[in-house]
Amino acid sequence: MTQRWALLATSAFVTLMVWLGGCGPAEPPQFPLNTEGRKAGAIGPAQREAILGTLGRLYGSPDEPRVPEGVDLDPARLRAAAGPVRPDGDGRVVGLYRRHCAQCHGIGGDGAGPAALLLNPYPRDFRQGIFKYTRTASGAKPVRDDLEEILRFGVTGTAMPSFARLEDQDRANLIEYVKYLSVRGETELFLLQLIVDEDEYLPLSMSIVMEDGVIPLADLWEQSAEFVVVPPSPPPVATEEQWLASVELGRVLYQNDDARCVECHGPEGRGDGEEEEIYDDWNKPKAGLTAAQTRALAERFTLPIQRLRPRDFTTGILRTGDRPDRLYWLTHVGIQGTPMPAAGPQPGVFGPLKPDEIWHVVHYIRHLAGQGKP
């Protein structure tokens, strides 16, 4: 009897270890190669080796992250976020990314963790370096405050939870790790283009990889602060009269043809505009011209195709929650990785709405969402 229990306990333990460790305790997990959109077998063994080898030298592994020379990422923060979940000796738990994020965002940040298939929208694939919720113009990277807000508030109406209960330094470590996965992922795309698409002669020169790939990609994160949009002060809406006047002005601006909001969000903001077949940048490459093409393309991607819907403001559930400044920013700079355009001025472009006008539109959207005065 005791023997049988011991056997059962051992097999349960082994199952648990294999599950926790992915490949079992002996084999540390590796970053999977990004094969999205490519035919099976399109990447030759030598090319595969060159890409993964180069990435390993530059960025290390999920258990032992490395920071390439000249890239501004804090190795201590990365170590706290990376690796298996474990105590760090000071009474803290580290391995934060695998503890809190990997089940959705995947160990390599591909947005295809075990839970991803069930979710709509899918968790972000960090490897393209595209983020939706920024306060930065012209497709610039998010600033750290943008990512901090995402972690603090989550994304309402999606599976992305709030991590407000974590300590500030844990969130800071995780943000550093998201940047790391993103720069690593964009370096990988750069290598795929060079080695597979352009069939570059191997071995690659490391100085080309650094000067044309890693450094400019990492610099984009450093430069994003220059693109921050500062909203003007909102118009006064202290009295009910002022509020309704602003909402009405917002409605007129929203329905103006130049602004184009109606095309997607519909005349009354119900998300029923004429624009029908829309996808985000992660799903668009999965859409063929015919249904048969789309089915054939499906084999090349990890997750099935997912349509994108323009927001129906009247459901009252906004991704931005109840935060008027976020609503301002999304309207001003647009939503990267989606067809939602920028309505405010961008460097070198006027845009259909002036900053003051955007506030009225924000008030109209809040009114539609039943949120009322900020």
* Residue 264 in contact with ligand HEC, rule: CB under 6 A: yes
Q: Which helix (H) or strand (E) covers residue 298, if one does? A: helix 291-298
User: Phi and psi dihedrals of 195, rounded to 5?
Assistant: -85, -40
**Is residue 140 at the binding interface for ligand HEC, with CB under 6 A as the rule?**
no
Rounded-to-integer distance, Cα 147 and Cα 134, Å = 8
**Could you say whether residue 59 binds ligand HEC (CB under 6 A)?**
no
3-class DSSP state of 23: coil
136 in contact with ligand HEC (CB under 6 A): no
Residue with smaller CB distance to ligand HEC, 272 or 275? 275
Please tell me whether residue 52 binds ligand HEC under the rule CB under 6 A: no
Q: Tokens for 70?
A: 């000249």
Q: Coil, strand or helix: which one is 217?
A: helix
Separation CA 48–CA 33 (nearest Å): 8
Rounded CA gap, 342 and 137, in Å? 8
| Binding footprint of ligand HEC, residue count (CB under 6 A) | 51
Q: How far is the CB of 208 from ligand HEC (least distance, A)?
A: 30
Identity of the residue, 151 or 218, whose beta carbon is nearer to ligand HEC in the bound complex: 151
Residue 181 found at the interface with ligand HEC (CB under 6 A): no
**41-49, 85-93, 292-300, 303-311 -> range binding ligand HEC (CB under 6 A):** 303-311
CB atoms within 10 A of CB 64: 13
Instruction: Give residue 190's identity as a one-letter amino acid code.
Output: F
Beta-carbon count within 10 A of 146 CB: 20
Neighbour tally for 268: CB within 10 Å: 15
Of 200, 219, 263, 322, which one interacts with ligand HEC (CB under 6 A)?
263
Convert residues 141-180 into a mask of x (bound to ligand HEC by CB under 6 A) and - (unbound). Answer: -x----x--xx---x--xxxx-x----------x---x--
The one-letter code for the residue type at 327 is L
Where does this chain bind ligand HEC (CB under 6 A)?
A: 100-101, 103-105, 115, 119, 121, 123-124, 131-133, 142, 147, 150-151, 155, 158-161, 163, 174, 178, 254, 259-261, 263-265, 275, 278, 308, 310-311, 318-320, 327, 330-331, 335, 338-341, 343, 361, 365
